Amino acid sequence: MFIDTHAHLEMEQFDADRAEVIQRAKKAGVGMIVTVGSDLEGSFKAVDIARQYDFIHAAVGIHPHESADVDERMLANLKKLARDPIVIAIGETGLDYFKKYASREAQIQLFKKHIKLAREIKKPVIVHCRDAWEDVLSILKAEKAEEVGGIIHCFSGNREMALKCVDLGFFISFAGPLTYPKSSQLREAAMAVPSERLFTETDCPYLAPQSNRGRRNEPAFVVETAKKLAEIKGVSLEDLGRIILKNMETLFKMGEPDGLGKPVYKIRNSLYVNVTMRCTNACVFCGRERNPIVAGHNLKLDNEPSVEEAIRGIGDPSAYDEVVFCGYGEPTLRLDFVKEVAKQVKEKGGKVRINTNGQGNLIHNRNILPELHGLVDVISVSLNAEDAEHYRLLSRPEFGEGAYQAVKEFIKEAVKYIPKVVATAVRVPGRVDIRQCEKLAEEELKVPFRVREFNVVG
């Protein structure tokens, strides 16, 4: 399913064929649209449209371009409209210092009033920002907008700015410009944003994606942006749809609260076996405790799966590229489980990979690698740092100072028993020297090296 989190179906550009536009969106696989008011009249129209279609939601607000003409009567009507249950967000609001249709002072005052309203009725804000990043960020922080959260819509900044917005608790939405050939800065930003903070939108009727550039944009065209975003993040369209739906549920409190996760989950055409939540590391970048959601999957486990549960969840392993023992815990803590499930996967023609922190020999006080011979095709080991001191600070191993050397010895030993051994490190800006990690892996450990992007599992 595709989701357009920011459309302007209420605008006059759709008056002649609005119903047909909405039907084309449904036919294209768009399962949810948020139509966003940009003035008071448009906000009322957005609510009326949302009432006619069960897959369309409304947001109400007054665009910064209109801020010079706003009076108290308009704000009172907006406040009343915002309480309608069909309205899921306040906006769009924000600052636009590019067009200069209204003074900065008027825009700032209206922006603050929108945030105050959002906090009062406990609904997220949809934020417009153009050439005003410093003020937008400072106002969001000063007005405590993180209490309700929201979306930085049609994001146009760089990687650094995207991460600042994420740090404030906001989601980042990408529109058609993500597909433009010269938008490398946007694609770098999209790569950096954690999957659990991503959205797609059209901002129609504006900013159609590359294949329709210059034409009136419409919700069906969000598919092209979604394809580009999936390509950037290295996931399938199915994965991206699940991710964005989960993000909608999180931000807008849709559906039932998360329960427990499934022991087997799919990303791209690989199956992942969520072995355990336990780990002998407490890595500073790990989201195990704060947010155990990966690619739209809840990985929270209260009970570790049995062999039978895992095999039942896997089904026919030959239908997938690989079965990966990976979750938010260390799989070798349950070595017997891993060996038995891997054995059955191999017997059914499947391929097996283990993602491990490389401390299996420390955990079991013996060399476990001969036991994995013939059961495992690929083992991916988290080297994580360029030396023992950085490893200690970043991974915080319970085995202490000797853990890093043990990981390196594990990698050297693994090549004797496993057909493919890969050393990995998470790209944590300012904390890990990726070039030194790669040099260590290839020159000392004699194995290939792979970078794992921060907040990306899989």
pLDDT at res. 451: 92
Query: In terms of DSSP bridges, do strands 297-298 and 293-294 run parallel, antiparallel, or are they unpaired?
Result: antiparallel
Burial status of residue 158 (CB atoms within 10 A of its CB: 0-12, 13-18, 19 or more): middle
Q: d(Cα 109, Cα 171) in Å, to the nearest integer?
A: 23
pLDDT score for 456:
52
Per-residue pLDDT of the chain (458 residues; tens, 9 = 90+): 999 999 999 999 999 999 999 999 999 999 999 999 999 999 999 999 999 999 999 999 999 999 998 999 999 999 999 999 999 999 999 999 998 899 999 999 999 999 999 999 999 999 999 999 999 999 999 999 999 999 999 999 999 999 999 999 999 999 999 999 999 999 999 999 999 999 999 999 999 999 999 999 999 999 999 999 999 999 999 999 999 999 999 999 987 655 567 889 999 999 999 999 999 999 988 877 667 788 888 888 888 999 999 999 999 999 999 999 987 899 999 999 999 999 999 999 999 999 999 999 999 999 999 999 999 999 999 999 999 999 999 999 999 989 999 999 999 999 999 999 999 998 877 788 999 999 999 999 999 999 987 655 44
| DSSP H or E stretch at residue 141 | helix 133-142
370 vs 436: CA distance, rounded Å: 29
In CATH terms, are 2-252 and 264-453 the same topology? yes
Backbone angles phi, psi at 173, to 5 degrees: -110, 130
- Determine the straight-line distance between the first and last CA of the chain, rounded to whole angstroms: 21
With CA atoms as reference, report the closest residue to 11 among 218, 209, 201: 218
Half-sphere exposure of 191 (CA within 13 A, CB side): 14
Q: Which residue has the tokens 């955990």?
A: 363
Note the pLDDT of residue 285.
83
Give the three-state DSSP class for 240: helix
The class that CATH gives domain 264-453 is alpha beta
- Tell me, what's the pLDDT at 454? 60
Predicted local distance difference test score (pLDDT) of residue 278: 94
Domain ranges in the chain are 2-252, 264-453
Three-state DSSP string of 257-310 = CCCCCCCEEEECCEEEECCCCCCCCCCCCCCCCCCCEECCEECCCCCCCCHHHH
Q: What is the dihedral of CA 430, 435, 441, 444, to 10 degrees?
A: -110
Q: Note the CATH architecture for domain 2-252.
A: Alpha-Beta Barrel (3.20)
